[in-house]
Amino acid sequence: MDEQSLITAIAGSHYVIHLASPFFFGSDESKLVTPAVNGTTYVMNACKAAGVRRCVITSSVVAVSVVAEADKPADRIYNESHWSNPDRPEGIAAYFKSKVLAEKVAWDFVAALPEDQKFEIVTICPGFVMGPPLRKEEFTSGTWMVNLMENKSEKVSADHCCGVDVRDVAFAHLQAIKIAAAANRRFLLVHSSPSFQEFAQPVIDKYVPLGWNVNTNFAESDPNEEITLFDNTASREVLQVVYTPWSKTMIDMADKMVELGTVSKTPAQ
């Protein structure tokens, strides 16, 4: 949120990756939309000032798939051509709005530049990022794992959610800098759309036999749930992403959080 600090940090750089944006679920747009949009604008200004060659921006699937009911693809499969609609009649969550508006700011900024000042951008649109963390601080997907392994939620939801391994996300960002054909493109980064119970099952299978009080109380599925799917062809063919098996993502995440001490073995209730 400090534009001058970004100008100073980016000065002299050829390539920039802009990942930072608030991620939590709430309704206060001043804490979600404003920093997302302003932060991206400041990064774009800093890239222009530095003469950056390419900027890679972390967007989200929620900048792609939150469309009006009337505009949903018939097969419920989204690709990079789809854009979320912040003004849809059904309304939109503040976090979802923050991601779509921030990504649009980046594309609009470069489009408005004179030809001799334009630089390349690439946007990466990941699903719910899971996998082993490097740090002990709280993070949104880590909170989900804590709630599972410490049995803090009443039930494990049967709802589906598209997911991706954090290591695949990191690799995609690096590839988006290195690969010429990635210039000025969006990329969906999604392994698949499992249910949260499928998120949980590998962790249950490993940790329950070890005496952990993992939540195994599964909620009933909703037969009317519309499962949102994503076409990850571009990420595989252009960025050369080879997606990590989902069971490995979940086990590696649980193992690392145990190692870091961010989840604890709680007594059975």
SS3 content of the chain, % helix, strand, coil (to 5): 45, 15, 45
| Residue 223 maps to a domain | no
Q: Please report, for residues 1, 107, 202, the alpha-carbon distance to residue 56 in angstroms, rounded to integers and kept in the order given.
A: 18, 11, 33
pLDDT surpasses 70 at 269: no
| Residue 243 maps to a domain | no
| Residue 163 maps to a domain | no
Tokens of 67: 């469309």
pLDDT at residue 22, rounded to an integer = 85
| Residue 240 maps to a domain | no
pLDDT at residue 267, rounded to an integer = 78
For the entire predicted model, the pTM comes to 0.95
Within 10 A of 250 (CB to CB), how many other CB atoms are there?
26
pLDDT surpasses 80 at 268: no
| Residue 30 maps to a domain | yes
Residue 2 sits in a domain whose CATH number is: 3.40.50.720
- The amino acid sitting at 29 is E
Task: For residues 78-84, give the mean pLDDT.
Answer: 97
CA dihedral of residues 35, 36, 40, 46 (deg, nearest 10): 20
Q: Which of 83, 59, 87, 61 is nearest to 72 (CA)?
A: 83
Please provide the DSSP assignment of 138-157 as one string.
--HHHHHHHHHHTT-SSSB-
The SS3 assignment for 176 reads helix
Calculate the average pLDDT of the chain: 96
For residue 97, what are the contacts with CB-CB under 8 A and spacing of at least 6?
Answer: 29, 32, 33, 86
| Residue 187 maps to a domain | no
| Residue 169 maps to a domain | no
Q: Is the separation of the CB atoms in 24 and 141 below 8 Å? A: no
| Residue 161 maps to a domain | no
Task: For residues 233-241, give the mean pLDDT.
Answer: 98
Task: Look at the alpha carbons of 205, 208, 213, 216 in this order and tell me if their dihedral is positive or negative.
Answer: positive
Residue 63: which pLDDT band, with cuts at 50, 70 and 90? very high
Task: For residues 108-126, give the mean pLDDT.
Answer: 98
Least confidently predicted of 23-32, 53-62, 141-150, 186-195: 23-32
pLDDT surpasses 90 at 24: no
Task: For residues 174-181, give the mean pLDDT.
Answer: 98
pLDDT at residue 162, rounded to an integer = 97
CB contact burial 124-141 (16+ within 10 A = b; e otherwise) = bbbbbbbbbbeeeeeeeb
pLDDT at residue 209, rounded to an integer = 96
d(CA 192, CA 231): 9
CA dihedral of residues 124, 128, 131, 136 (deg, nearest 10): 100
Task: Kindly tell me the number of DSSP H helices and DSSP E strands found in the chain.
Answer: 8, 8
Within 10 A of 61 (CB to CB), how many other CB atoms are there?
26
- What is the tally of structural domains in the chain? 1
* Residue 218 bridge partners (DSSP): 156
pLDDT surpasses 90 at 223: yes
Residue 68: which pLDDT band, with cuts at 50, 70 and 90? very high
pLDDT surpasses 80 at 242: yes
For residue 111, what are the contacts with CB-CB under 8 A and spacing of at least 6?
Answer: none
d(CA 264, CA 267): 10
Task: For residues 24-30, give the mean pLDDT.
Answer: 85
pLDDT surpasses 90 at 25: no
pLDDT at residue 23, rounded to an integer = 83
Which residue segment(s) compose the domain that 43 sits in? 1-126
